[in-house]
Amino acid sequence: MLNVPSQSFPAPSSQQRVASGGRSKVPLKQGRSLMDWIRLTESGKDLTGLKGKLIDVTEEELKKHNKKDDCWICIRGCVYNVSPYMEYHPGGEDTLMSAAGSDGTDLFNQIHPWVNYESMLKVCLVGRMAVKPTVSKGMLPKSQVTDILAKEGPSSPSYDWFQTESLVTIVIYTKQKDINLDSVIVDHQDDSFRAETIIKDYSYLIHLGLSHEIQEDFSVRVVENVGKIEIVLKKKENTFWKSLGHSLENHNSFIPKKDAGLYYRRCRLISKEDVTHDTKLFCLMLPPSTHLQVPIGQHVYLKLTITGTEIVKPYTPVFDSLLSEFQEPVLCNSKYIYFLIKIYPAGLFTPELDHLQIGDYVSISSPEGNFKKSRIEELEDLFLLAAGTGFTPMVKILNYALANIPSLRKVKLMFFNKTEDDIIWRSQVEKLTFKDKRFDIEFILSAPTSEWNGKRGYISPALLSEFLKRSSDKSKVLICICGPTPFTEQGIRLLHDLNFSKDEIHSFTA
Ligand code: FAD
Ligand code: NAD
């Protein structure tokens, strides 16, 4: 890789030579402070010109970007487009330009190795230096990546691995920035090791029979700003692995998610609590050798064998309580998954689920669903229309929005049920209105007793137009709707009649 020779820095005419200690700051123009830079980086502006894509950069390509208005610099293997940062750089433009189109790692290490450039420059990240594969790491010969993607689809991830005496680390380079711990699902069962990474609507699979035994628990880390996933496995015996293992079905494939099929793992029933007369909170535990987090707004499939036939139904995970403090995935890497499930006495699946004993097993699929968390970002008004167990996707959305969206002014839940006894987590919902002043609730009952003083009936234009009041004329709004199919269909029609656009509505369906 290219390196700026250290003797060329500081350049004879550089500002850096002026100051004692070899470090100097240049006066910055107005509006070019660190705070201004942070504001710019958070504005959502495309600062690399690559629309969020990460690319592999060759040395030849890097060299081409050596002008002030097109300046790429490599630091510790990552390439940044620093042109937008020029005027904000406390050390001046000349210093940055001295590493233009080259590897500035030495320069950087000399001046400010402590600076968290990864965070400061994350929106300027262009990609990684394309490194030639090394034989010494004992890489598996890569099988052909199934490249059936349309040209505009994400480019295929790749993987590599390395080892220490006691650990084996598998590294997945996704080439995408918007990945997190939800994006990767890892299962180690019997002789199969699977790591499925979801990138936009595509699935990248590592599927191997490992060459040696590993311990049950492993850790998963994500370096979000470089799109790197690290799975750290613990060796059972501290021996040197000559290879990672042998390929199993669809190993190293990158295909549309819809073609990938669902993978199930057996989970133990830990507890079952009554919530209403017919709805229960089920807690299931993932196997120790599984890493799986269900993203907000997504569901999974539960599978049971009922009289010799495998039956599968979709369910939306919730938290153990509506009042749980929202935790970033990195903190809540929990092994427990909670479900609010209504038992239908004449139903096929739910009576069977209800008959399970604590300690029995249910299979859980990988997550599915088309809700994107990004739809909540920068929202001002969030309206949730839920009917019966259609409340379940609202639990995580509500929790996430109140904890993480500073722009949010109003969150209203319109909760449709037959009777008061059917209202799921009523006291928790009411408590939340006291806990957070932005949150409000309206219960609407379709078959109330004569004592009910609140609103009654089915979803209607009158109820909706009174309920869906924006906090300002042009406020950014999202309306989420979920419940029985006729409820959802009618609701969507009414919302269109009330002039809400498609982009302002998300309906939860199968
Ligand atoms: P089913 O056998 O489907 O029967 C349901 C009811 O319909 C029963 O009362 C039954 O008597 C009646 N019925 C069945 N067939 C007929 C018929 N031919 N004519 C008249 N009536 C009939 N549910 C939850 O409780 N919690 C959730 O988190 C949840 N999440 C979901 C997420 C998604 C994406 C979807 C699509 C659904 C979700 N559901 C959820 C619903 C769930 O998937 C099941 O549909 C539900 O649990 C009923 O399953 P069952 O097999 O017990 O009942
Ligand atoms: P329910 O029968 O108790 O009805 C709840 C309310 O829905 C009623 O009080 C009424 O206001 C409204 N409603 C019912 N039928 C209606 C109709 N024909 N027209 C207009 N409004 C109507 O509801 P439930 O038994 O709890 O069923 C919940 C439904 O939500 C299920 O169909 C389930 O599949 C669905 N659900 C979907 C998802 C998802 O897609 N992600 C998640 C959870 C639940």
CA of 454 from ligand 2 middle (Å) equals 20
Task: Output the CA torsion 231→232→238→242 (10° steps).
Answer: 30
pLDDT in tens, 301-345: 999 988 888 889 999 999 999 887 655 444 455 799 999 999 999
Top-confidence residue, 19 or 163: 163
Burial class of residue 337 in the structure, from the number of CB atoms within 10 Å of its CB (0-12 exposed, 13-18 middle, 19+ buried): buried
pLDDT in tens, 267-305: 999 999 999 999 999 999 999 999 999 999 999 999 998
Nearest to 127 by CA among 54, 70, 69, 72: 54
CB of 317 within 8 A of CB of 400? Answer: no
Cα(116)–Cα(225) distance, rounded to whole angstroms? Answer: 12
User: Positive or negative, the Cα torsion across 484, 486, 489, 492?
Assistant: negative
CB of 468 within 8 A of CB of 350? Answer: no
CA of 417 from ligand 1 middle (Å) equals 16
CB of 238 within 8 A of CB of 309? Answer: no
CB of 176 within 8 A of CB of 227? Answer: yes
Cα(415)–Cα(285) distance, rounded to whole angstroms? Answer: 30
pLDDT in tens, 416-456: 999 999 999 999 999 999 999 999 999 999 999 999 999 99
Tell me what pLDDT residue 333 has: 56
User: What pTM does this model have?
Assistant: 0.76
Residues in contact with 437: Cβ distance below 8 Å, sequence separation at least 6, in sequence order: none
What average pLDDT does range 46-53 have in this prediction? 83
Token couple for 219: 């850790």
Token couple for 122: 């994350």
Instruction: Enumerate the β-bridge partners of residue 310.
Output: 305
Prior bond of 10 cis (ω within 30°): yes
Residues in contact with 469: Cβ distance below 8 Å, sequence separation at least 6, in sequence order: none
The number of CA neighbours under 13 Å toward the Cβ of 402 is 24
- Looking at the predicted structure, is the pLDDT value of residue 134 above 50? no
- Looking at the predicted structure, is the pLDDT value of residue 76 above 60? yes
CA of 484 from ligand 1 middle (Å) equals 9
Cα(459)–Cα(444) distance, rounded to whole angstroms? Answer: 9
Residues in the chain: 510
CA of 85 from ligand 1 middle (Å) equals 55
pLDDT in tens, 367-403: 999 999 989 999 999 999 999 999 999 999 999 999 9
Token couple for 103: 């590897």
Instruction: Enumerate the β-bridge partners of residue 55.
Output: 127
| Ligand 2 pocket, CB under 6 A | 299, 316, 342, 387-390, 392-393, 416-418, 422, 446, 458-459, 482-484, 486-487, 490, 508-510
Place of tokens 């990552």: 78
CB of 480 within 8 A of CB of 508? Answer: yes
Tell me what pLDDT residue 108 has: 78
Three-class secondary structure of residue 22 per DSSP? helix
Residue type, 143: S
- Looking at the predicted structure, is the pLDDT value of residue 465 above 90? yes
- Pocket probe for ligand 2: among 279, 389, 467, the residue whose CB has the most ligand atoms within 8 Å is 389
Q: Which atom of ligand 2 is nearest to the CA of 509?
A: 40
Nearest to 464 by CA among 488, 504, 495: 495
CB of 298 within 8 A of CB of 371? Answer: yes
- Pocket probe for ligand 1: among 284, 319, 344, the residue whose CB has the most ligand atoms within 8 Å is 344
What is the percentage of the chain residues whose pLDDT exceeds 90?
63
- Edge-to-edge strands of the sheet including 167-173? 158-163, 167-173, 228-235, 214-223
Nearest to 374 by CA among 34, 5, 44: 44
